[in-house]
């Protein structure tokens, strides 16, 4: 414990061995290879900026991080040096000391993936990314496809590798929200588990959209308006059903169980439900479907049964997905502002991270009825 006078090759540029490993290395090993691209000139460090600007490291750091307690003169010198050297702060070094990672994760349980109305995922991402573009937050994407990966995620989050989490999840019993809750990591959900969701969330006004749709049908003179619901363990599906009910009741119509067909957001589910509804209530003249995909299924059954849409039976879907534009006739549908949901989620999360805050936020975004041919 004493030969401290011996220093290695160089003070600043540790020589890494360039020896190549045996051609392929052992397969399956974690394959450590001396990393360090042969890349060109080394990246300038904060210290070099300080030297060039003729100030201390502290001052450069203050300038870079926008601290107000820096003289105008020093600030200018530093900024000039930064520009000259093309300095970019090293994120890892910063993270190491602040334990702030400047990145957030978008977590998607892949099971849900199949229920997404099609451009959903891209739209969410697009919104999130747009909001993040102004900051220097990184977006990490994490798909969780099974229990093992859920555990990995848990370890991952515990290891504080992100500053916050956006979770796209809708199922009542998804374990992920609770995980986030117990980890006390800033997070925002797309959708919510129920009325009492304790986490921050953003969702579309499902009930309002459904109400609009059904009002539209009633206004058109429909007398027997049926509905095909989504899986009722999803809050969104429940809300759409209750919107349907509200619209009927406000029009003084009775809510009849017989007119409610349980679906599951799939096309086949839509077909099944439609068949049952037709059997129970052959006189129905309108169907509000809780998703476009189910509506597409319903459309097929209606046509097979010889009903003309919209003349005999008017049909409305939900999501305004691509499917809506390609059915025949094209579907009238309720649009959710998905990209804006993404943007809002990101914004809320950034706020929550910034204020270290316990304050939960919830935002409901308006939906909109897009009228096409089917109603």
Please, which residue, 66 or 194, has the CB nearer to DNA?
66
Please, which residue, 94 or 335, has the CB nearer to DNA?
94
Q: How far is the CB of 66 from a second copy (least distance, A)?
A: 4
Q: What is the DSSP letter of 169?
A: -
CA distance 160 to 181: 14
Tokens of 23: 């051609």
Per the CB < 8 A criterion, the answer to whether 203 and 237 are in contact is no
Per the CB < 8 A criterion, the answer to whether 102 and 93 are in contact is no
Burial state string for 145-170 with b = 16 or more CB within 10 A and e = fewer than 16: eeeeebeebbebbeeeebbbbbbbbb
Residues in the chain, total:
375
Please, which residue, 27 or 66, has the CB nearer to DNA?
66
In the region spanning residues 6 to 35, those forming contacts with a second copy, defined by CB under 8 A, are 25, 29-33, 35
CA angle, 28 then 31 then 34, to 5° = 175
Please, which residue, 100 or 303, has the CB nearer to DNA?
100
Angstrom CA distances, 318 to 113, 209, 366, 369, stand at 17, 8, 13, 9
Task: Please pick, from the candidates 96, 155, 196, 359, the single residue that binds DNA as defined by CB under 7 A.
Answer: 96
- The reply on whether position 91 binds a second copy by CB under 8 A is yes
Binding site for a second copy (CB under 8 A): 25, 29-33, 35-39, 43, 65-67, 88, 90-93, 95-96, 98-101, 103, 106, 110, 113, 116, 118-119, 121-122, 125-126, 129-130, 133, 138-143, 145, 149, 152, 155, 158-161, 163, 184-185, 267, 296, 322-323, 325-328, 354-356
Q: Using CB under 7 A as the criterion, which residues of the chain lie in contact with DNA when the complex forms?
A: 1, 3-9, 11-12, 14-17, 32, 34-35, 42-43, 45-47, 54-59, 61-62, 64-65, 68-71, 73-75, 87-90, 93-94, 96-98
């Amino acid at each position: 414990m004493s030969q401290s006078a011996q220093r290695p090759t160089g003070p600043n540029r540790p020589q890494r061995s360039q020896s190549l490993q045996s051609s392929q290395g052992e397969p399956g090993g974690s394959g450590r290879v001396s990393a360090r691209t042969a890349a060109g000139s080394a990246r300038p460090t904060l210290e070099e900026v300080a030297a060039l600007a003729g100030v201390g490291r502290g001052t450069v750091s203050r300038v870079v991080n926008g601290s107000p307690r820096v003289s105008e003169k020093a600030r200018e010198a530093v900024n000039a040096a930064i520009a000259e050297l093309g300095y970019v702060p090293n994120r890892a070094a910063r993270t190491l000391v602040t334990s702030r990672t400047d990145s957030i994760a978008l977590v998607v349980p892949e099971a849900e993936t199949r229920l997404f109305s099609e451009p959903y995922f891209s739209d969410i991402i697009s919104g999130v990314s747009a909001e993040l573009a102004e900051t220097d937050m990184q977006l990490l994407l994490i798909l969780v496809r099974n229990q093992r990966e859920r555990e990995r995620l848990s370890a991952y989050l515990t290891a504080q590798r992100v500053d916050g989490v956006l979770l796209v999840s809708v199922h009542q019993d998804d374990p992920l929200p609770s995980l986030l809750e117990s980890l006390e990591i800033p997070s925002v959900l797309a959708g919510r588990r129920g009325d009492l969701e304790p986490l921050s969330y953003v969702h579309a006004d499902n009930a309002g959209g459904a109400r609009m749709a059904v009002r539209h049908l009633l206004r058109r003179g429909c007398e027997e308006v049926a509905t095909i619901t989504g899986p009722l363990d999803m809050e969104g599906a429940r809300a759409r059903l209750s919107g349907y009910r509200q619209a009927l009741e406000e029009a003084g119509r009775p809510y009849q169980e017989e007119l409610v067909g349980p679906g599951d957001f799939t096309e086949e589910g839509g077909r099944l439900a439609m068949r049952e509804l037709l059997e129970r209530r052959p006189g129905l003249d309108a169907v509000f479907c809780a998703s476009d995909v189910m509506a597409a299924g319903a459309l097929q059954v209606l046509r097979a049964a010889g009903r003309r849409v919209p003349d005999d039976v008017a049909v409305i879907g939900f999501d305004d997905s691509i499917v809506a534009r390609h059915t025949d006739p094209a579907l009238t549908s309720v649009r959710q502002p998905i990209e804006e949901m993404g943007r809002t989620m990101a914004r809320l999360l950034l706020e929550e991270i910034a204020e270290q805050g316990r304050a939960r936020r919830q935002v409901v975004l308006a939906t909109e009825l897009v009228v096409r041919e089917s109603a």
